[in-house]
C-alpha cells in the first residue's frame, strides 16, 4: 500500500536592496527557508550566479539531500542486515552543466562514502548493502541523472562489538 508523505516550507526572498529586480546587479540572491519546528536555513545562489559563497545554494542542497538520503538508507539496511557501522563519512560531488541560454541540469552525482564496520566478517555485506540503499533512497529515486557510489569499507580495529 502506498502512503503519502507531505512536506511544507516557506521560502522568502531576502535580496531586495531597495530597487527590486530593476537591474540584474540591483538585487541579492539571498533567501530564507522556514520549516515549522526547525531552524531557519539561509541560502543564496551559487557564486557563479551572483550569489553569496558563504551560504548554501540549491545545488549544494541537492547533493546534500542525495548524500544524506543514501546514508540514512544505508544505515537502515546495515542495521536490518546485521552489519554494525561505527563511522560513516561521505565526500560527495555533483556535476552540473549550464547552457548558453542560461538553463542547466545535473549530469551526475558521485557519492564517496567511507564506512567503518565493527568486524572484518561484515565487509562483504557492507559493500553489497550500498546497492540496496541506493534502491531505497527516496531522493535518488526522484532524480533523472545517475547517482553513482564509490565506497570504501574499513574495519574498526578498536571495536568491542
Q: At what angle do helices 58-81 and 123-136 cross, to 10 degrees?
A: 130
Q: What is the pLDDT of residues 104-120, one digit of tens each?
A: 999 999 999 999 999 99
Single pTM value for the model: 0.89
Instruction: Compute the half-sphere exposure of residue 34: CA atoms within 13 Å on the CB side of its CA.
Output: 5
Q: What is the pLDDT of residues 128-139, one digit of tens each?
A: 999 999 999 999
CA distance 157 to 161: 11
CA distance 114 to 120: 15
Per-residue pLDDT at 160: 56
Contacts 24+ apart (CB under 8 A), 7-10: 8/35, 8/36, 9/33, 9/34, 9/35, 10/34, 10/35
Q: Encode 13-37: b = buried (16+ Cβ within 10 Å), e = exposed.
A: eebeeeeeeeeeeebebbbebeeee
Amino acid at each position: 500500500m502506498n502512503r503519502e508523505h507531505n512536506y511544507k516550507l516557506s521560502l522568502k526572498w531576502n535580496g531586495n536592496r531597495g530597487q527590486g529586480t530593476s537591474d540584474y546587479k540591483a538585487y541579492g540572491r539571498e533567501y530564507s527557508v522556514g520549516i515549522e519546528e526547525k531552524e531557519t536555513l539561509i541560502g543564496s545562489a551559487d557564486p557563479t550566479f551572483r550569489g553569496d559563497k558563504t551560504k548554501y545554494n540549491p545545488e549544494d542542497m541537492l547533493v546534500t539531500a542525495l548524500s544524506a538520503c543514501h546514508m540514512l538508507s544505508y544505515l537502515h539496511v546495515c542495521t536490518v542486515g546485521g552489519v554494525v557501522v561505527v563511522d560513516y563519512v561521505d565526500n560527495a560531488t555533483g556535476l552540473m552543466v549550464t547552457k548558453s541560454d542560461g538553463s542547466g541540469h545535473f549530469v551526475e552525482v558521485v557519492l564517496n562514502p567511507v564506512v567503518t564496520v565493527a568486524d572484518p566478517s561484515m565487509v562483504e555485506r557492507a559493500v553489497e548493502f550500498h546497492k540496496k540503499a541506493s534502491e531505497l533512497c527516496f531522493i535518488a529515486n526522484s532524480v533523472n541523472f545517475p547517482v553513482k557510489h564509490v565506497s570504501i569499507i574499513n574495519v574498526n580495529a578498536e571495536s568491542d562489538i
